[in-house]
Amino acid sequence: MRLFLDAHLSGRRVAESLRRAGHDVLAADEERALDEWRDDELLALAADQGRILVTCDVKEFPRIARGWAEAGRGHAGCTILVGIDHSQFGVILRTVAAVLEVRPDHADWRDYTCFVSRPGPP
């Protein structure tokens, strides 16, 4: 899958693990040029590159995704991690793996926004 990790998710820990699992991952915290970008601009970048956005930002991204849907603006998918601290790397990896397993076809993510919480014990 082509993924874009929001700035709150560790590129060093989360992105690298996802890459080892075979995913094509861009992480905002690995790209200094993205430091000052607004959240809607990050979703636009992910959409332009055909990447599913993964974020822990439950405050901003639901509003942005809803606004895009109301405006008829498309994106490549958005996964919002709920109740998971950005420092819980193992939980983030298990949660992302679980949601990608449920929806394994990249095309099925088009304009799909989901809220996911931590999966059960491994």
7-40 tens-digit pLDDT: 888 778 899 999 999 999 999 999 888 888 999 9
Confidence of residue 120 (pLDDT cuts 50, 70, 90): low
pLDDT of residue 101: 94
Q: Is 77 left (phi over 0), alpha (psi -120 to 50) or beta?
A: left
- pTM value? 0.91
What pLDDT, on a 0 to 100 scale, did the predictor assign at position 122? 54
pLDDT at 118 over 90: no
CB atoms within 10 A of CB 121: 5
Give the integer Cα–Cα distance in Å for 57 and 8: 8
The whole-angstrom separation of Cα 69 and Cα 9 is 25
What is the structure's pLDDT at 109? Answer: 97
Burial class (CB in 10 A: 0-12, 13-18, 19+), 47: buried
Per-residue pLDDT, 79: 95
pLDDT of amino acid 11: 77
Tens-place pLDDT, residues 69-110 = 999 999 999 999 999 988 889 999 999 999 999 999 999 999
How far from 101 is each of 31, 38, 57, 60, CA to CA, in Å?
27, 30, 22, 26
